[in-house]
Amino acid sequence: MSAAGQAKEDFTFTPENLSRAKTIIAKYPEGRQQSAVLPLLDLAQRQNANWLPRAAMDYVAALLDMPPMRVYEVATFYTMFNLAPVGANLVQVCRTTPCWLRGSDDITRTCCQKLGVGLGETTADGKFTVKEVECLGACANAPMVQINDDFYEDLTPESMAKLIDDLAEGRKPSVGSQTGRRGSCAQDGATTLRGKTS
Protein backbone atom coordinates (compact mmCIF):
# COMPACT_ATOMS: atom_id res chain seq x y z
CA MET A 1 0.00 0.00 0.00
CA SER A 2 1.38 3.41 -0.90
CA ALA A 3 2.04 6.11 1.65
CA ALA A 4 -0.59 8.24 -0.11
CA GLY A 5 -3.09 5.45 0.45
CA GLN A 6 -2.47 5.69 4.19
CA ALA A 7 -2.57 9.48 4.48
CA LYS A 8 -6.18 10.01 5.57
CA GLU A 9 -6.54 9.44 9.32
CA ASP A 10 -10.25 8.80 9.77
CA PHE A 11 -13.25 7.62 7.81
CA THR A 12 -16.90 6.90 8.52
CA PHE A 13 -19.82 6.38 6.19
CA THR A 14 -22.25 9.26 5.81
CA PRO A 15 -25.65 8.46 7.34
CA GLU A 16 -27.01 7.70 3.86
CA ASN A 17 -24.13 5.39 3.00
CA LEU A 18 -24.30 3.68 6.40
CA SER A 19 -27.94 2.92 5.66
CA ARG A 20 -26.94 1.55 2.23
CA ALA A 21 -24.18 -0.52 3.84
CA LYS A 22 -26.63 -2.07 6.31
CA THR A 23 -28.98 -2.93 3.45
CA ILE A 24 -26.10 -4.57 1.55
CA ILE A 25 -24.94 -6.54 4.60
CA ALA A 26 -28.50 -7.77 5.24
CA LYS A 27 -28.52 -9.48 1.82
CA TYR A 28 -26.03 -12.09 3.02
CA PRO A 29 -26.92 -15.13 5.17
CA GLU A 30 -26.18 -15.08 8.89
CA GLY A 31 -22.48 -15.67 9.45
CA ARG A 32 -21.59 -14.67 5.87
CA GLN A 33 -21.72 -10.88 6.24
CA GLN A 34 -18.01 -10.62 5.38
CA SER A 35 -19.05 -11.43 1.82
CA ALA A 36 -20.22 -7.81 1.63
CA VAL A 37 -16.60 -6.58 1.59
CA LEU A 38 -16.52 -5.79 -2.16
CA PRO A 39 -19.68 -3.67 -2.32
CA LEU A 40 -18.76 -1.90 0.93
CA LEU A 41 -15.29 -1.04 -0.33
CA ASP A 42 -16.88 0.27 -3.53
CA LEU A 43 -19.28 2.39 -1.48
CA ALA A 44 -16.39 3.73 0.62
CA GLN A 45 -14.34 4.55 -2.47
CA ARG A 46 -17.26 6.40 -4.08
CA GLN A 47 -17.76 8.43 -0.90
CA ASN A 48 -14.07 9.33 -0.78
CA ALA A 49 -13.39 10.90 -4.21
CA ASN A 50 -12.74 7.53 -5.90
CA TRP A 51 -9.92 6.24 -3.69
CA LEU A 52 -9.58 4.10 -0.56
CA PRO A 53 -7.43 5.35 2.30
CA ARG A 54 -6.35 2.79 4.90
CA ALA A 55 -8.83 4.38 7.34
CA ALA A 56 -11.72 3.45 5.02
CA MET A 57 -10.50 -0.14 4.76
CA ASP A 58 -10.16 -0.34 8.56
CA TYR A 59 -13.68 1.06 8.94
CA VAL A 60 -15.11 -1.56 6.56
CA ALA A 61 -13.20 -4.28 8.43
CA ALA A 62 -14.69 -3.16 11.74
CA LEU A 63 -18.17 -2.92 10.26
CA LEU A 64 -17.91 -6.50 8.96
CA ASP A 65 -16.07 -7.82 12.05
CA MET A 66 -13.17 -9.12 10.01
CA PRO A 67 -9.39 -8.72 10.32
CA PRO A 68 -8.18 -5.57 8.54
CA MET A 69 -5.58 -7.65 6.67
CA ARG A 70 -8.38 -9.57 4.90
CA VAL A 71 -9.82 -6.27 3.68
CA TYR A 72 -6.38 -5.06 2.54
CA GLU A 73 -5.98 -8.32 0.60
CA VAL A 74 -9.23 -7.67 -1.26
CA ALA A 75 -8.48 -3.98 -1.90
CA THR A 76 -5.00 -4.70 -3.25
CA PHE A 77 -6.12 -7.64 -5.42
CA TYR A 78 -8.83 -5.87 -7.43
CA THR A 79 -7.65 -3.10 -9.73
CA MET A 80 -10.99 -1.32 -9.44
CA PHE A 81 -9.87 -0.08 -6.02
CA ASN A 82 -7.57 2.93 -5.96
CA LEU A 83 -5.19 3.09 -3.00
CA ALA A 84 -4.07 6.64 -3.74
CA PRO A 85 -5.95 9.74 -4.88
CA VAL A 86 -6.92 9.85 -8.56
CA GLY A 87 -8.21 12.57 -10.85
CA ALA A 88 -11.87 13.47 -11.21
CA ASN A 89 -11.79 11.56 -14.53
CA LEU A 90 -10.07 8.20 -14.11
CA VAL A 91 -9.17 7.15 -17.67
CA GLN A 92 -8.57 3.39 -17.80
CA VAL A 93 -7.25 2.24 -21.17
CA CYS A 94 -7.87 -1.42 -21.92
CA ARG A 95 -4.67 -3.12 -23.09
CA THR A 96 -5.80 -6.71 -23.52
CA THR A 97 -5.17 -8.42 -26.88
CA PRO A 98 -8.33 -7.34 -28.82
CA CYS A 99 -7.86 -3.70 -27.83
CA TRP A 100 -4.11 -3.88 -28.42
CA LEU A 101 -4.61 -5.34 -31.90
CA ARG A 102 -7.05 -2.52 -32.70
CA GLY A 103 -4.75 0.29 -31.51
CA SER A 104 -4.87 0.70 -27.73
CA ASP A 105 -1.19 1.76 -27.74
CA ASP A 106 -2.23 4.76 -29.84
CA ILE A 107 -5.06 5.53 -27.40
CA THR A 108 -2.66 5.39 -24.45
CA ARG A 109 -0.16 7.60 -26.29
CA THR A 110 -2.90 10.12 -27.13
CA CYS A 111 -4.05 10.30 -23.51
CA CYS A 112 -0.56 10.75 -22.10
CA GLN A 113 0.56 13.29 -24.71
CA LYS A 114 -2.63 15.36 -24.60
CA LEU A 115 -2.72 15.44 -20.80
CA GLY A 116 1.04 15.76 -20.28
CA VAL A 117 1.23 12.84 -17.86
CA GLY A 118 2.63 9.33 -17.78
CA LEU A 119 0.74 6.17 -16.89
CA GLY A 120 -0.48 6.23 -13.31
CA GLU A 121 -0.05 9.99 -13.08
CA THR A 122 -2.61 12.72 -12.43
CA THR A 123 -2.75 16.10 -14.16
CA ALA A 124 -1.73 19.12 -12.09
CA ASP A 125 -5.34 20.38 -12.04
CA GLY A 126 -6.56 17.04 -10.64
CA LYS A 127 -8.95 16.47 -13.54
CA PHE A 128 -7.42 13.33 -15.10
CA THR A 129 -5.51 10.20 -14.15
CA VAL A 130 -4.46 7.72 -16.87
CA LYS A 131 -4.00 4.01 -16.20
CA GLU A 132 -3.72 0.90 -18.35
CA VAL A 133 -5.93 -1.99 -17.25
CA GLU A 134 -6.72 -5.51 -18.34
CA CYS A 135 -9.91 -6.55 -20.16
CA LEU A 136 -12.89 -4.26 -19.65
CA GLY A 137 -15.20 -6.65 -21.47
CA ALA A 138 -16.12 -4.80 -24.66
CA CYS A 139 -13.72 -6.70 -26.94
CA ALA A 140 -15.98 -6.56 -30.01
CA ASN A 141 -15.86 -2.76 -29.90
CA ALA A 142 -12.12 -2.39 -29.35
CA PRO A 143 -10.22 -0.25 -28.62
CA MET A 144 -12.01 1.16 -25.63
CA VAL A 145 -11.55 2.99 -22.35
CA GLN A 146 -13.50 3.25 -19.14
CA ILE A 147 -13.74 6.73 -17.66
CA ASN A 148 -15.18 6.55 -14.16
CA ASP A 149 -18.30 4.36 -14.64
CA ASP A 150 -18.72 4.87 -18.41
CA PHE A 151 -17.39 2.90 -21.41
CA TYR A 152 -16.23 4.63 -24.60
CA GLU A 153 -15.70 2.21 -27.49
CA ASP A 154 -14.50 2.09 -31.12
CA LEU A 155 -11.92 4.77 -30.36
CA THR A 156 -9.37 6.43 -32.60
CA PRO A 157 -6.69 8.83 -31.39
CA GLU A 158 -8.86 11.68 -32.71
CA SER A 159 -12.04 10.57 -30.93
CA MET A 160 -10.05 9.98 -27.72
CA ALA A 161 -8.64 13.51 -27.92
CA LYS A 162 -12.18 14.85 -28.37
CA LEU A 163 -13.38 12.89 -25.31
CA ILE A 164 -10.64 14.46 -23.23
CA ASP A 165 -11.50 17.94 -24.55
CA ASP A 166 -15.20 17.44 -23.74
CA LEU A 167 -14.49 16.23 -20.22
CA ALA A 168 -11.97 19.02 -19.59
CA GLU A 169 -14.63 21.56 -20.59
CA GLY A 170 -17.27 19.93 -18.37
CA ARG A 171 -19.26 18.45 -21.26
CA LYS A 172 -20.63 14.90 -20.95
CA PRO A 173 -19.61 12.87 -24.03
CA SER A 174 -21.91 10.20 -25.44
CA VAL A 175 -21.08 6.83 -23.93
CA GLY A 176 -20.64 3.64 -25.93
CA SER A 177 -19.43 3.42 -29.50
CA GLN A 178 -17.84 6.57 -30.82
CA THR A 179 -18.60 5.53 -34.41
CA GLY A 180 -22.34 5.11 -33.93
CA ARG A 181 -22.17 1.32 -33.98
CA ARG A 182 -25.20 -0.22 -32.31
CA GLY A 183 -24.28 -2.74 -29.60
CA SER A 184 -21.68 -5.16 -30.94
CA CYS A 185 -22.94 -5.29 -34.52
CA ALA A 186 -20.42 -5.61 -37.31
CA GLN A 187 -18.87 -2.23 -38.13
CA ASP A 188 -20.50 -2.27 -41.55
CA GLY A 189 -23.94 -2.81 -40.04
CA ALA A 190 -26.04 -5.69 -38.80
CA THR A 191 -25.81 -8.90 -40.79
CA THR A 192 -27.52 -12.27 -41.07
CA LEU A 193 -26.40 -15.45 -42.79
CA ARG A 194 -27.96 -14.05 -45.97
CA GLY A 195 -26.21 -10.68 -45.85
CA LYS A 196 -26.80 -7.23 -44.44
CA THR A 197 -30.04 -6.29 -42.77
CA SER A 198 -31.74 -3.01 -43.42
DSSP-derived secondary structure for 122-148: B-TTSSEEEEEES--S-GGG-S-EEET
Would you list the domain boundaries of the chain? Answer: 4-77, 89-177
CATH topology of domain 4-77: Arc Repressor Mutant, subunit A (1.10.10)
Task: Centre a 10 Å sphere on the Cβ of residue 15 and count the other Cβ atoms it contains.
Answer: 8
Cα separation of 57 and 54, whole Å?
Answer: 5
Total-model pTM: 0.82
Q: Please, what CATH class does the domain formed by 89-177 belong to?
A: alpha beta
pLDDT digits (tens, 9 = 90+) for 22-60: 999 999 999 999 999 999 999 999 999 999 999 999 999
pLDDT score, position 181: 82
Other C-beta atoms lying within 10 Å of the C-beta of residue 42: 15
Q: What is the pLDDT of residues 165-198, one digit of tens each?
A: 999 999 999 999 998 887 777 776 666 777 666 5
Q: How far apart are CA 198 and CA 196, in angstroms?
A: 7
| Structural contact between residues 30 and 49, judged by C-beta atoms closer than 8 angstroms | no
Name the more confident of 16 and 180. 16
pLDDT tens sequence across 86-129: 999 999 999 999 999 999 999 999 999 999 999 999 999 999 99
pLDDT band at 3 (very low <50, low <70, confident <90, very high): very low
Q: Could you check whether 4-77 and 89-177 share the same CATH topology?
A: no
Q: Is 156 helix (H, G, I), strand (E, B) or coil?
A: coil
